[in-house]
Amino acid sequence: MEADILITDTLLLPDPGQDTFIPSGCVAICGATITYAGPMENYNGPRAKQTIDGRGLLTMPGLINLHGHAPMTLFRGLADDLELTDWLENHIFPAEAKHVNTEMAYWCSTLAAAEMILSGTTTTADGYFFETEVARAFADAGLRAVAAQGIIDFPAPGVEAPEKNIAAAAAFLDRWQGKNPLIRPALFSHSPYSCSNETLLKAKQLARERGVKLFIHVAETKHEISMIREPLGPTPVQHLHGLGILDADTICVHCVWTDARDMDILSGQGSPVVICPQSNLKLASGMANLPLMLEKGVRVGLGTDGCASNNGLDMFREMDICAKIQKLKTLDPVATPANKVLDLATTKGALISGFPGHSATLAPGKPADLIMLDLVQPHLTPLYTADLLVYAASGADVRTVIINGRIILEQGRLLSINIDETLEQVRTMACAVLQ
């Protein structure tokens, strides 16, 4: 059978966690699946409908961005240099109340999808309101995504009556569950301080009944426990544990202010954690203790958070900051080696995302999600190990992106998104924000 795509003569990094390059590699893709990934000299498969010359390029699995709020690209740079509570209550929440609608959610999510694809992200996890429009934008863009409908105990965009938040979430699951192989619907309870215990329990019950993941912001700030109504423990993690909602399908985002007991609970329950270093730095929320999390056996992934608290969605930039800030925090240059951070942004992140068979490795039978970087550049020369991808590469180095066997970005040109129309739509909306 003829292959659909054949990548030839490329520097191949099939498993980022192993840091082993194949100097003259080859990848064959049939449909949505990889049929061969290995040395060019060993390939004896069929010719392909399309051949990509990989000379001067690195081919590797795509990056996994496990936390974002895609529509918030509209608020990029709107309220910088503020503390989290001030940022949320006095700037972001009012802006959302005024400007978030279905059109905004679709076009701003399309912009986020374009930014992520251009910088090498092939899978993302998002949580926001009007999430059907977010999912539609990602589906149109060809981006693999876990899209989570927001749940909060306040009037929210698209859900003006808080008592209808669970019903709205259920309707979202009805709309998307099993409808698109690239979109997995989920739920996003904003935080323990913005959702009552009753709401959290109902959200988790719904998630369990439907077999979907529940995302939640946890322990992002030092004083978060004082904001929780009826806390069931001395920390946000222990509060959630007391409610009985921590398990392998409850994904805790941030976990900056967690102690050893919290990490033991997270590890014991199998609850993954997604850390967002740049967002935490910008908001001066603190820094998650990544070395201790890994030592305790906590499953960890990496995310950018939204553009309003990060300003960018480049996972290469996120990896660089993640590795370096842990060294500064611990005064230990080997606190979190680059290869471990790259593993979080690929293999570990893919496993947390929950797509069947998805492991962010290039091997026969795996989903064909990969990126190709231009190596013929001063800042990537020489390339001895994959560590340089963390410390020197950037999203601007990405030339080609393939998701589920489909070429989405070709030689730096987006094929699935009309970027000029998208930019114009978002710029028009931004003018209204400034009025």
Query: Which tens digits make up the pLDDT trace of 215-263?
Result: 999 999 999 999 999 999 999 999 999 999 999 999 999 999 999 999 9
What integer pLDDT is reported at residue 87 of this predicted model? 82
pLDDT at 434 over 90: no
165 and 278 both lie in a single domain: yes
- What's the gap between Cα 382 and its chain centre? 29
**Is 431 within a domain?**
no
Give the pLDDT score at 224: 94
Closest by Cα among 18, 23, 16, 61 to 42: 23
| Residue 182, pLDDT score | 98
Exposed e or buried b per residue across 100-126, where buried means at least 16 C-beta atoms within 10 angstroms of its C-beta: beeebbbbbbbbbbbbbbbbbbbbbbb
Amino acid at 346: T
Q: For 163, which DSSP code?
A: G
Residues 288, 389, single domain; the answer is no
175 and 269 share a domain?
A: yes
- Are 274 and 215 within one domain? yes
Give mean pLDDT, residues 41-46.
92
Q: pLDDT averaged over the chain?
A: 96
What percent of the chain stands above pLDDT 90?
Answer: 91
For the domain that residue 139 is a member of, what is the CATH number?
Answer: 3.20.20.140
Let me know if residue 430 belongs to a domain.
Answer: no
Q: 169 and 212 share a domain?
A: yes
Q: Is the dihedral of CA 241, 243, 248, 250 positive or negative?
A: negative
Percent of the chain topping pLDDT 70? 100
DSSP state of 226: G
pLDDT in tens, 113-155: 999 999 999 999 999 999 999 999 999 999 999 999 999 999 9
Same domain? 239 vs 223? yes
Same domain for 343 and 374, yes or no, is no
277, pLDDT greater than 70: yes
**Is residue 192 very low, low, confident or very high in pLDDT (cuts 50, 70, 90)?**
very high
In whole angstroms, give the CA distance from residue 191 to residue 50. 47
Report CA 132 to chain centroid distance, whole Å. Answer: 18
Cα atoms in the Cβ-side hemisphere of radius 13 Å centred on 175: 17
278 and 333 both lie in a single domain? yes
Render pLDDT for 374-420 as a digit per residue (tens, 0 to 9). Answer: 999 999 999 999 999 999 999 999 999 999 999 999 999 999 999 99
Q: Is 421 inside a domain boundary?
A: no
Among 82-96, 109-123, 179-193, 197-211, which stretch is predicted with the lowest mean pLDDT? 82-96
Whether 92 and 109 map to the same domain: the answer is yes
Q: CB–CB of 151/132 below 8 Å?
A: no
Shared domain check, 89 and 7: no
In this structure, the answer to whether residues 57 and 153 fall within a common structural domain is: no
- Note the pLDDT of residue 17: 85
Give me the helices (H) in 257-356, please.
260-269, 277-282, 290-295, 307-310, 315-330, 338-343, 349-353
Residue 148 in domain: yes
- 138: in domain: yes
Q: Which pLDDT does position 4 carry in this prediction? A: 97
**Pair 277, 322 in one domain:** yes
What is the per-residue burial (b if ≥16 Cβ within 10 Å, else e) of 408-421?
bbeeeebebbeeee
**How far is the C-alpha of 174 from the C-alpha of 185, rounded, in Å?**
9
434 part of a folded domain = no
Compute CA distances 325 → 66, 286, 418, whole Å: 19, 11, 37
Residue 84 has pLDDT above 90, yes or no: no
How much is the pLDDT for 200? Answer: 98
Domain count, the chain: 2
> Which of 312, 333, 353 is the last residue before a domain boundary?
353
CA–CA gap between residue 435 and residue 427 (Å, rounded):
13
Q: Is position 419 within any domain?
A: no
The domain spanning residue 56 has which CATH number? 2.30.40.10
Residue 46: per-residue pLDDT: 84
pLDDT at position 1 is 67
Q: Identify the CA nearest to 298 among candidates 279, 278, 317, 272.
A: 272
Q: Which domain holds residue 237?
A: 63-353
* 44 belongs to a structural domain: yes
3-state DSSP assignment of residue 392: coil
Q: Among 303, 330, 353, give the residue marking a domain's end.
A: 353
pLDDT on residue 142: 98
